[in-house]
Amino acid sequence: MDRAARGNTMGGTSGAARIGCCISGHGFGHATRAIAVMQALVARIEARFEILTSVPAWLFGQSLASPHTLHPMITDVGLVQQHALAEDLPATLEALDRFYPLDEQRIDQAAAALQGCQLVLCDIAPLGIAAAKRAGIPSILVENFTWDWIYAAYAEQWPDFAPHVEGLSALFAQADHHLQASPVCCPMRCDRQVDPVARRPRDPVAIRRRLECGSEQRLILITMGGVGGGKQEIALHSLRERRDLVAVFSGQSREEKFSGNLRFLAQDGPWYHPDLVAAADLVVGKVGYSTVAEAYQAGTAFAYVARRGFRESATLEAFLDSHLLSWKIEECDLQSGLWLDTLPSWSNSRRAVEDRANGADQVADYLIELLGQTHARP
């Protein structure tokens, strides 16, 4: 085991199923979706995880109590971001040209980290598929989009994306099993389509108390995913004037700070994001898979900022409009503070969610089928 992995090992369980997880480092949404599956899996069987990703260790420590080893490595490119709501396509192309075709040494390094695993879950890093194939381990691709589909939207204006679309399409096709998680951007023949995948809340009622939100105040959660941005992209003055609201900025400060009715939470602090979403009366921010899935599971209203340059957005926006009380906010209104005046009434905005299935359970059940239930809990 390498030094970095050895330093991020948690627990140990003899006789447990050993599952590899190769996770995209683009934002935190792919990691939290994979964590949701890991949480559901350990609720059913004894398991430990070998996690390959560039996502920071604190996210797994905050969300995952089961034994796991983190192998820090870059697993894919995704999109280089200018900020939370804008991509840098020239920089993305440069990064793709450096990363692909996958270097043999990189594949060998990942395959070595996966040795002894019985399955490899890939969300949506193609390195995991290549490494699993090298190690002779079945791979399971879980996605609501793949990077070749994302890059294809840019290829007409930026032809240099075309070779990467072709190469990545071939890599993704090598997965032994393929699951699509709703809302799916590009439905296709797959082994199973599952409901939205999200981590479960723990104690949202306690979160409101910890955030010092009064019984007569409404709680707004402002989140831009794991890419960064937030305070600089939203006018604070309009929120400070609204004493009937408590505005929480998730992961937007190095240190936790409460100022008047504003709450700035450290990214690596003790704030479990699904609890924040479930405690909120309204989520405001970038439309991303993980936040959408968590809001769907909690029934929380969502005021979202459109990401016109990102192909996934249209699918997520349509899903929000069909399943939650939701509104589109223009980025300029978010920056000016006018967005608060453009929202319709959102009192009693929560939707009933008693019968909503969590796709994490469905993915976990599929993995157990592959394992043959040899590690089922008594």
CATH number, position 219: 3.40.50.2000
pLDDT of 3 above 50 = no
Cα–Cα distance for residue pair 54/58, rounded to 1 Å? 12
Three-state DSSP class for 322? helix
- Structural tokens at position 118: 């019985």
Same domain, 110 and 177: yes
Q: What was the pLDDT predicted at 349? A: 63
Percentage of the chain modeled with pLDDT above 70? 90
Same domain, 146 and 66: yes
- Structural tokens at position 333: 């209104």
Cα–Cα distance for residue pair 181/184, rounded to 1 Å? 6
Q: What was the pLDDT predicted at 310? A: 87
Same domain, 136 and 210: no
Answer yes or no: is 347 within a domain: no
Same domain, 22 and 99: yes
Q: Into how many domains does the chain fold?
A: 2
pLDDT of 183 above 70 = yes
Same domain, 193 and 208: no
The 8 Å CB, 24+ separation contacts for 316-321 are 316/183, 316/287, 316/288, 316/289, 316/292, 317/287, 318/183, 319/182, 319/183, 319/292, 320/287, 320/292, 320/295
Per-residue pLDDT band for 233 (boundaries 50, 70, 90) equals low
Answer yes or no: is 349 within a domain: no
Which residue matches tokens 């920056």?
335
Same domain, 71 and 193: yes
For the segment 99-117, the average pLDDT, to the nearest whole number, is 98
Beta bridge partners of 87: 81
For the segment 193-202, the average pLDDT, to the nearest whole number, is 96
Same domain, 156 and 221: no
For the segment 243-267, the average pLDDT, to the nearest whole number, is 91
Provide the residue type at 241 as one letter: E
Cα–Cα distance for residue pair 305/327, rounded to 1 Å? 9
CA distances from 353 to 230, 294, 297, 299, 358 (A): 28, 11, 7, 6, 11
Same domain, 260 and 175: no
CA distances from 168 to 214, 220, 322, 375 (A): 50, 39, 32, 34
Same domain, 138 and 211: no
pLDDT of 43 above 60 = yes
Per-residue pLDDT band for 136 (boundaries 50, 70, 90) equals very high
Answer yes or no: is 239 within a domain: yes
- Average pLDDT in the chain: 90
Same domain, 167 and 270: no
pLDDT of 378 above 60 = no
pLDDT of 337 above 90 = no
For the segment 51-64, the average pLDDT, to the nearest whole number, is 96
114 lies in which domain range? 3-197+359-371
Cα–Cα distance for residue pair 80/156, rounded to 1 Å? 19
pLDDT of 307 above 80 = no
pLDDT of 231 above 60 = no
Same domain, 222 and 190: no
Q: What was the pLDDT predicted at 226? A: 55
Per-residue pLDDT band for 374 (boundaries 50, 70, 90) equals very low
Answer yes or no: is 21 within a domain: yes
Answer yes or no: is 378 within a domain: no
Answer yes or no: is 348 within a domain: no
Q: Between residues 92 and 3, which one has the greater pLDDT?
A: 92
pLDDT of 1 above 50 = no
Give the predicted TM-score (pTM) of the model.
0.91
Answer yes or no: is 140 within a domain: yes
Answer yes or no: is 306 within a domain: yes
- Structural tokens at position 247: 């505005």
pLDDT of 61 above 90 = yes
Same domain, 153 and 244: no
